[in-house]
Every structure is written in structure tokens, then in C-alpha cells.
Chains A and B, each alone.
Chain A
Amino acid sequence: MNFSEVFKQSNQLCKVSPDGKYLATCVQYRLVVRDFNSLQIVHLYTCLDPVMHMEWSSDSLFILCAMYKRGLVQVWSLEQPDWHCKIDEGSIGLVSSRWSPDGRHILNTTEFNLRVTVWSLCTKAVSYIKYPKACQKGVDFTADGRYMALAERRECKDYISVFVCDDWHLLRHFESETQDLAGLEWSPNCCVLAVWDNCLEYKILLYSLDGRLLSSYSAYEWSLGIKSVAWSPSSQFLAVGSYDEKVRILNHITWKKITEFEHPATIINTKAVVFKEVEKRPVVGSEDLSIHQLTVDNSLFSTQSKYEITQLPAQVPVIKPDPDRANPKIGISALAFSADNRFLATKNDNMPQSLWVWDMQRLSLLAVLEQTAPVRCFVWDPRRPRLALCTGNTKVYLWSPAGCVSVNVPVEGSFQVQSLFWHCSGSSLVLLSKEHICLCGASVASFCLQ
């Protein structure tokens, strides 16, 4: 595995273009665009304020930089570096900004969620959408980019509006049967919209594209409900993670639960493999402790680690959450399906150091990864059934059905991996620390850059 040089970034803003050719990073108010393979700087742009949010357009031709404090959005073009575009929201303020799927419209959500302004880069047309709902996930685009679903709240009731992204025509507007809508998500086949309530009520509703209610599912009452939702890439399954530490899988034909995955503190399932990360400190001889060694060679302080297979029954470390706090750290907070639909990775918040991998063909537990620190981020390879995760230390961990491995990031100084993501081809990983990024992969150029 090759590791590249580290580059600076701020605010964890580092994105690969959708076509995979370029890597854009923001360093304070500068936008740096590099060629992904050679890591040479291709373009350099300067914004008016430190950038809070950066996004590539879908055709990889434009980059959007949003500065929320000043209420500004600047758009840069890769084809014509001297082309510029600045959107000023004025006194109304800016809370979020995103591209539309066609890459020619920008949707700005104003402060206090007063309205969503749709700016067009092609025409002078400006559209306004009133009463957008401020929730966990109030806006979602279909995978083919044709429709947009927006959650609205008028007079203490939730509504859903479906827009045609072509011309922002309001296709459907219907009332949602939720008490307090927390999020919505389109299925990957673009025909079903999953809408879920906030944690005070366990309810997930499934609406068809034309606004008909297909089904409603509620596992239990009164206790805290849904924490996370994920569609499988084939749209066959809908995984619902809740505060009762269980994931319930609904099927797309009857929209009924086909199974539920439990996360017990003691694993007794004999088919599952429990990988435990074990750190081993290198032995230091007294004659090696010179200043030179200490400053230059960081391998002295970095610990090697490897995975050991634990015998079943295995105990998973549990951290009891504070019962008096809101949004308690318990329940399934993160769910991710692999690209081939065969695996599901889940994280239970009161077992923060463990990651659970489920086999979707057999609908059973396949592996549990127990790390030495809480898992911060995990992502599936977009092509292969490979999972990359990080726990905030200097290592990156990879799991595949063949096994799992821990790789030390061989960077001078310590590189604490805070988050990571895959390149769209699945051949490289981009690791982000607090202030830097590092690329790793089989074909990453590892030479220095000015």
C-alpha cells in the first residue's frame, strides 16, 4: 500500500470530483484543485471568506464554496478558471447550500429555514420554496437526479413536496402522516420515498413517487424510536436502526419486517468471527533513546497493532449512556450497505468501539470488529465488498470477507485519521486528519509537491 504526502486542509473539506479525476481541498479561504493521479495542483482559487462548505457539481465542471458567516456562495469553473460567480444572500443569511443534480442550480437555505432559494446558473430565474423544514435530512434528490423531495412544515403539520428538477415544477404536494418528520430518503430505484418520524415516535412511512402512501411501519411505541435509516443499493431492503439497539430490515414487496438484527453484549453466534484489535508496543532499548531518534523516527511512539480472532462467546465492551441527557448515546446511529448488496455494517452507540458486519444473504451476523478506540468513520468501497474504518488514531483498518488488516499511516509526525472516504473507482482511500489529508492506495503517487 502506498501513501502519499500530506496536504493541508481545513474544516474537513476535501472532495473528489464525481468523475474521479480531480481532488479539491479547502485551506481556509483558498480552494486547491489537484489532479488525482499525479496530485499536481491544477487550479487555485481564492474565496472571500473561510470556506464552510464545498461541493462539486455533478458534471465535475464547477465547484461551489459556501461561506455561511458572510452569507456568500462562490462558484468556480474548472474549464474557465477566470469565470466567476458570487451569490449573496444578503441580510437573510445562509445556513446551507447545495447543488441540484443537473449541476446548474444552487439551492440555498436561508437562516431560520425561512425559505430555499433556487439560483440558476443558466438563466436569470430565481425560485423560492417556502416553509422548508429544519430537520436531520429535509431535502433529498433521486439517484437519477430527476426529482427532489423537500420536507415542509406549515401550521404544525408536516408536508412533503416533490419537485421536478428540470424546471422546478411542483409535481406533488401531500401531507405526511408523521408527528415530527425527521428525515426522508429516496430509494435507489427512485420510486419510493422513505419518510421517518423523530425519535419520540417510531414510525417510518413509505410513499410512492406520486404521493400515495404505500405502507407504514412501527415496531413499538413510547420508547425512543428511529435513529438511522439506509436503503440497500438494489432497493430490496430498507434497514432501520433504532434506539433499542436493533436494526430491522423491511422488504420492498410487502414492506414488512423480514428480520431484526440484535446487538447483544455477549456474542454466542458460532458462525460469526470476532476480530479484536491488539496493540503491541515495540521494545525500546536504552541506547536508542537519542534526540534524533525521538524527533525523526516516530515509529518509536507509534504502536503496531494487529487483529486477533477471539473465541466465542465473546464480550463486547458496553458504555452505559447517561439516562438524563437528550439524544442518548445508545442505539444504531450508523448503517451502511456494501455496494454489492451483500453486507451491512452497523454501529451501536453504546458499544462505540465495535463495528458489526452482517451477511445479507444469510441474514445473520458475519463479523464483529472490536477496536481499541471508538470507531469514528466507516465507508464501503464503491466497487468491491471492502470496508475501511478509522478510530482517530494513526491507523486505517480494512475489512473484507477474507479477513481484516490494520495499516499504520507512515507519515512524519502523527496523522490521526478522523475520517476517510473512497475514490469512486475504489482504488484509493482519502484519509483526513484534523488539518491534513493523505491518500493511500495501490496506485498513488508518493512524491513531494511544492
Chain B
Amino acid sequence: MRHHVGHVWFRQALITGSAFSFVFCTDTKELSSISGISMSPSRQNSRHSLHSTTALPKTSYSVLSAFCTEGNISQCIAYINQEVCSLGLTGASLESKSGNLSAVPVLNLLYEVLQLQRRAQRALHELETQQLMNGSDLEHLQHSNCRLKDQLEHTRRENSGLHEGERQLQLKIKTLHNCLKSEKEEVQKLQSIISSRASQYNHDTKRKERECTKLKERLNQLLMDKRDKKLSIEISNYVGRSDGKRGLWKTSKMEARHEGEMYRALLSDYETRQRSLMMENSELKKVLQHMKKDMIAILSPKKPCAVSEGEEETGDCCRESLEQSCEQAREQLTNSIRLQWRKLKSHMERLDSQASLVACQEREGDEMMSRKEQEDEMQRMRLELQQCKEFIHMQQQLLQQQLSSPCDEETAALLNDCYTLEEKERLKEEWRLFSEQKRNFERERKNFTEAAIRLGHERKAFEEDRAAWLKTQFLHMTPFVDRKRPALSEPHSATQQLSQSQSDVQCLLFKIQSTIDG
């Protein structure tokens, strides 16, 4: 549109009915640029804006008139000059010639302003179209974005669905593979079985065939062979039976006897078996009874009601022992065992839960326990402490009493004297005793030494006497009694003396011992 010839523009402008009414004196460039501002019938919006910006309604004149009046023409002119300068227009500055404005610079200025305005409008128009285009592009892009997103979502879903399907198919393939493998294995196994059976059958068939041929040969041989060797037994003499009895005829009685024996053997075997089973059964029942009693015992301390149950059970026991093999009794026993066992189990479970509770509370429980213990300890210690304190206090008091009696010196001294006197007396007594003992001891010792010396002398004398006597005895050796007697008496006296002295010494020793001990 921009590079159209001017008349086209003009016509268009007429068609659009715009209120443009100005004449140009500039070149075609500006004309084309102006023509660019004109728009297509589609751009209604911009037309409106153009209208609003470029149209100069008749009412706007009133606005202009407000700005410039008769009075402030020069100011207006100056102001306009300023504005023009600031805008950078090259229009010559309006000069006021005594109130008369030359139209040419004003027109030029106006034209330049119009140009400016046109340019601005054009730019605006361009921007607006650009904006519209961008808007529409954006919308278009947004739409396509949405569409693509949807498409993407859709394809993603399809993809996952396909994946899922593929996975299932893979699984199926795997299971089918496994089935195939197992079937193959089974087929192989069956084939091996068939082959082994076939080889076994073949082997047996071959064996039978061989036997058959042998039989046929033998038959042939027998048919040919004239001499038939008869079977016979040659025995030098018949032997007696191993049990020594005579052989019996075969009669029906014998048959019956055989039958009887056979049944007897069977019966005895069954009886032994039954006996062993009964024994086992009774042993097991006993074990069960014991178990039941034990279980009742375990449960009864916790549950007093179980005692009555126990009584019931004992009643059952009595009944059971009477009908040992009775089905009902057996069931009763087993049921009661089961019941007791269930009770025991529940009891154990409860204990377990309790134990676990205690275990989790143990950390707190530990402290509680130790606290209690500590408290006890503390109590004891306090008590001890109290006692000790009292004791010390008492001691202290006594000591104080002892020591601190400066006010009562006499009595204290008297007391002291009393104490010491007592002690003195005691010591004196002891000393006296001791000295007495010592004297006695000395005496005894003296006596003892004297006695020992005497003993030694007497011993020596005795020895001499003995020697003399022996000598005389040996020399005389007569059966006379008279001679003997004086010889005997002498040593006898010596021995008497000796024994006496010995006894003396012994007495002395005894006395000494007693004093020492006393």
C-alpha cells in the first residue's frame, strides 16, 4: 500500500471518509510515507485510533482557542517556538510582527508537526499491527502448544499401554517357555522310561524265545531218543524222620489239623502284636496322664477354679481306668489333654506378654527398683547415722564429764584417788601373790636340786651296792637262803632309799608344776 501512486491514496482517503483535509507541497517520499498510514478496511481498530488521534473534530478548535487568545499571541508564539525547538523541527521560528503572523512559517511548522504526527501515527499503526500479529501468533502458538501437549499426553499414554502389553506378553512368553521346558523334560523322561521298558521287554522276550527253542530242541531230542531214562532214586536205606515220629496218613483230619495249626500260628502272632500295642498304648496313656496332671498343677496355683477341674479330671481318670479300650474314654482323655494344653499355652502367652511388658518398662522399672532400693538403703544409713551420732554424743558427754570437771576438783581428785587406790590395792595384792609364788618356787627349786643331788649320790651308792652284791653272788653261788638274805637286804635298802628319793623328787616336781599352774 505504501508505494501506491498518490491518486490511489486520495481516492482511498475519500472512500474511507476520513476528515483529512490538507494540501501537501512536499515530495513523493513523504507522500508514500503518508499513504502508508492509510490502512486497509480490515483494520478497524487502528482506524478508530487514527480517528481519535488524527481527526480534528470541530470541537477541538475550542481547545485550541483556549490555548491562544488575542492577548497572548506572542506568548503562544514563544511557547510554540520553544516546543518546536525541543521537538527538533527545523521550521523557522515564528516571529511576531506586530501581531501579524506570517502564514508561511506557521504553515510550514504546522506541516512539519503534521508530518511528525503522521510519522508517529504510522509508527503507532505499525506497532499496533505488529502487536496484533504478535497476539495472533501467540494465540496460534498457544493453540498449537495445547494441541501438541495433548498429543504428547496421548502418545505417552499409548506408549505406557504398549509397554504394559509388551510386559504381559513377555511374562506370557516366559511362562510358556517354562511350560515348554517342563513338557520337554517330561517327554524326555517318558521317552527314557519307554526305552528302558522296551529294552526290558526285549530282553525278557529274547530270554523266553531262547527257552522256547531249548524246549523245542529237547522235545525233538526226546522224540528221537528211544531210551528214556526214567527218574529214580537209589537209596541204601530209608532214614528216620528228623523228629523221630512216624509218618501219618493224609486224611481230612490231618487237613483240619493243619488248618487249625495255621490259624493258631496266625492268632498267636496277632495276640503278641496286640499285646505289644496295648502295652505301648498304656504307656503312652500313662505319659499323657502325667502330662495332664503336671499341666493342671502348673495352672492351678494361678487359677483356683482349676482345682475343681482337677477333681473332675481325677474322676475321669477313675472312669478311664475302668474302660481302658473304650473309644469314648480315649477321646475324653485326648480332649482333656488338648484343653489343658490350650490353657497352658494361653497362660504361657500371657506370661510372655507380661514379661515383654515388664521388659519394655524395665528401663523405667529399673529406676523405680533402684530408687526403692536406694531409699531403703538411705533409710538404713540414716538410722545407722542416728545411732552413731547418739553414741558419739553420749561418749562425748561422758568424756566431757570426765574432762570437764574443773569446778569439782576435790570430788574429781577423790574419784581419781579412788580409782587409783583401787588399782593400787589390786596391784599390791597381785605383787604379794607373785612374790609369794616366787619364794615358793625358789624353795621348790632348792629342794629339787638338793633332792637331785641326793638322788645322784644314792644312785651311785646303789650301783656300788649292786655291783658288790653281784660280785658276792657270783663268788658264793650257794643254795643257802641265810647268806642270800643279807645280800638281798642291802641292795633292797638301797633300792628303797632310791625309790623314796625318787618319789620325793616326783612330789617336788608335781608341787612345782602346780604352783606354776596356780
**Complex-state Cα separation, A136 to B109, whole angstroms:** 143
- Given A325-B199, A326-B202, check contact A169 B236 (CB 8 Å): no
Contact B200 A200 (CB under 8 A): yes
B134 within 8 A of A: no
Q: Measured between C-beta atoms, what is the minimum distance from A398 to chain B in Å?
A: 34
Q: Measured between C-beta atoms, what is the minimum distance from B27 to chain A in Å?
A: 112
Q: Which of B196, B259, B273 contacts A171 (CB 8 A)?
A: B259
A223 within 8 A of B: yes
Which of B18-26, B238-246, B339-347, B427-435 is found at the contact surface with chain A?
B238-246
Enumerate chain B residues within 8 angstroms of A210, measured Cβ to Cβ: 262-263, 266
Contact A209 B199 (CB under 8 A): no
* Proximity string of chain A (72-102) to chain B, C-beta cutoff 8 Å, 1 when within and 0 when not: 0000010000111111111111000000001
Contact B231 A90 (CB under 8 A): yes
Enumerate chain B residues within 8 angstroms of A208, measured Cβ to Cβ: 266
Contact B200 A90 (CB under 8 A): no
Which of A27-35, A114-122, A287-295, A385-393 is found at the contact surface with chain B?
A114-122
A146 within 8 A of B: yes
B100 within 8 A of A: no
Contact B241 A102 (CB under 8 A): yes
A123 within 8 A of B: yes
Q: Which of A83, A92, A112, A119 contacts B211 (CB 8 A)?
A: A112
Enumerate chain A residues within 8 angstroms of B231, measured Cβ to Cβ: 87-90, 92, 117
- Given A111-B218, A122-B241, A223-B193, check contact A88 B233 (CB 8 Å): yes
Return the chain B residue nearest A126 by Cβ.
Answer: B233
* Proximity string of chain A (237-273) to chain B, C-beta cutoff 8 Å, 1 when within and 0 when not: 0000000000000001100000000000000000000
Q: Which of B234-266 contact A (CB under 8 A)?
A: 234-243, 247-248, 250, 254-255, 258-259, 261-263, 265-266
Enumerate chain B residues within 8 angstroms of A89, measured Cβ to Cβ: 231
- Given A104-B242, A167-B248, check contact A88 B195 (CB 8 Å): no
Enumerate chain A residues within 8 angstroms of B240, measured Cβ to Cβ: 122
Enumerate chain A residues within 8 angstroms of B247, measured Cβ to Cβ: 122-123, 167
Enumerate chain A residues within 8 angstroms of B196, measured Cβ to Cβ: 223-224, 323, 328
B311 within 8 A of A: no
- Given A122-B241, A164-B258, A327-B203, check contact A88 B229 (CB 8 Å): yes
Q: Which of A355-373 contact B (CB under 8 A)?
A: none
Q: Which of A82, A84, A88 contacts B232 (CB 8 A)?
A: A88
Contact B203 A326 (CB under 8 A): yes
Enumerate chain A residues within 8 angstroms of B373, measured Cβ to Cβ: none
**Complex-state Cα separation, A104 to B263, whole angstroms:** 25
Contact A224 B242 (CB under 8 A): no
- Given A85-B233, A86-B233, check contact A91 B239 (CB 8 Å): no
- Given A88-B231, A112-B211, A326-B202, check contact A167 B250 (CB 8 Å): yes
* Proximity string of chain B (168-199) to chain A, C-beta cutoff 8 Å, 1 when within and 0 when not: 00000000000000000000001011011101
Q: Measured between C-beta atoms, what is the minimum distance from B201 to chain A in Å?
A: 8
B215 within 8 A of A: yes
A191 within 8 A of B: yes
Q: Measured between C-beta atoms, what is the minimum distance from B106 to chain A in Å?
A: 122
**Complex-state Cα separation, A89 to B231, whole angstroms:** 4
- Given A326-B199, A326-B203, check contact A169 B233 (CB 8 Å): no
- Given A224-B196, A323-B195, check contact A209 B258 (CB 8 Å): no
B269 within 8 A of A: yes
**Complex-state Cα separation, A90 to B229, whole angstroms:** 5
A340 within 8 A of B: no
**Complex-state Cα separation, A51 to B269, whole angstroms:** 41
Enumerate chain B residues within 8 angstroms of A85, measured Cβ to Cβ: 233-236
Enumerate chain A residues within 8 angstroms of B200, measured Cβ to Cβ: 199-200, 224, 326-327
Q: Which of B32-87 contact A (CB under 8 A)?
A: none
Q: Measured between C-beta atoms, what is the minimum distance from A377 to chain B in Å?
A: 25
**Complex-state Cα separation, A171 to B250, whole angstroms:** 13
Contact A104 B234 (CB under 8 A): no
B230 within 8 A of A: yes
B327 within 8 A of A: no
Among the interface residues A86, A166, A323, which one has the most CB atoms of the partner chain B within 10 A?
A: A166
Q: Which of B243, B265, B277 contacts A209 (CB 8 A)?
A: B265
Return the chain A residue nearest B203 by Cβ.
Answer: A326
**Complex-state Cα separation, A190 to B267, whole angstroms:** 12
Enumerate chain B residues within 8 angstroms of A126, measured Cβ to Cβ: 233
Q: Measured between C-beta atoms, what is the minimum distance from B198 to chain A in Å?
A: 9
A218 within 8 A of B: no
**Complex-state Cα separation, A90 to B228, whole angstroms:** 8
**Complex-state Cα separation, A222 to B192, whole angstroms:** 10
Enumerate chain B residues within 8 angstroms of A146, measured Cβ to Cβ: 261, 265
Enumerate chain A residues within 8 angstroms of B262, measured Cβ to Cβ: 147, 164, 171, 209-210
Q: Which of B202, B232, B238 contacts A121 (CB 8 A)?
A: B238
Contact A169 B254 (CB under 8 A): yes
Q: Which of A90, A167, A209 contacts B266 (CB 8 A)?
A: A209
Contact B254 A167 (CB under 8 A): yes
**Complex-state Cα separation, A124 to B233, whole angstroms:** 9
- Given A59-B242, A88-B229, A91-B228, check contact A169 B250 (CB 8 Å): yes
Enumerate chain B residues within 8 angstroms of A102, measured Cβ to Cβ: 241-243
B275 within 8 A of A: no
- Given A209-B265, A253-B277, A324-B199, check contact A169 B258 (CB 8 Å): yes
Q: Measured between C-beta atoms, what is the minimum distance from A333 to chain B in Å?
A: 16
- Given A88-B229, A102-B241, A190-B265, check contact A121 B235 (CB 8 Å): yes
B214 within 8 A of A: yes
B222 within 8 A of A: yes
Interface, chain A (partner B; CB < 8 A): 58-59, 62, 77, 82-93, 102-104, 111-112, 117, 119, 121-124, 126, 146-147, 164, 166-167, 169, 171, 189-191, 199-200, 208-210, 222-224, 252-253, 323-328
Apart from A119-B233, A224-B200, 12 more pairs, CB < 8 Å: A62-B239, A90-B230, A90-B232, A102-B243, A112-B214, A117-B231, A169-B254, A209-B262, A210-B262, A224-B197, A323-B196, A327-B200
Interface, chain B (partner A; CB < 8 A): 190, 192-193, 195-197, 199-204, 211, 214-215, 218, 222, 225, 228-243, 247-248, 250, 254-255, 258-259, 261-263, 265-266, 269, 273, 277
What are 25 A-B pairs with beta-carbon distances under 8 A? A82-B236, A87-B231, A88-B229, A88-B233, A88-B234, A91-B225, A91-B228, A91-B229, A92-B231, A102-B241, A102-B242, A112-B211, A122-B241, A122-B247, A126-B233, A146-B261, A164-B261, A167-B247, A169-B258, A191-B269, A210-B262, A210-B266, A223-B193, A224-B196, A326-B199
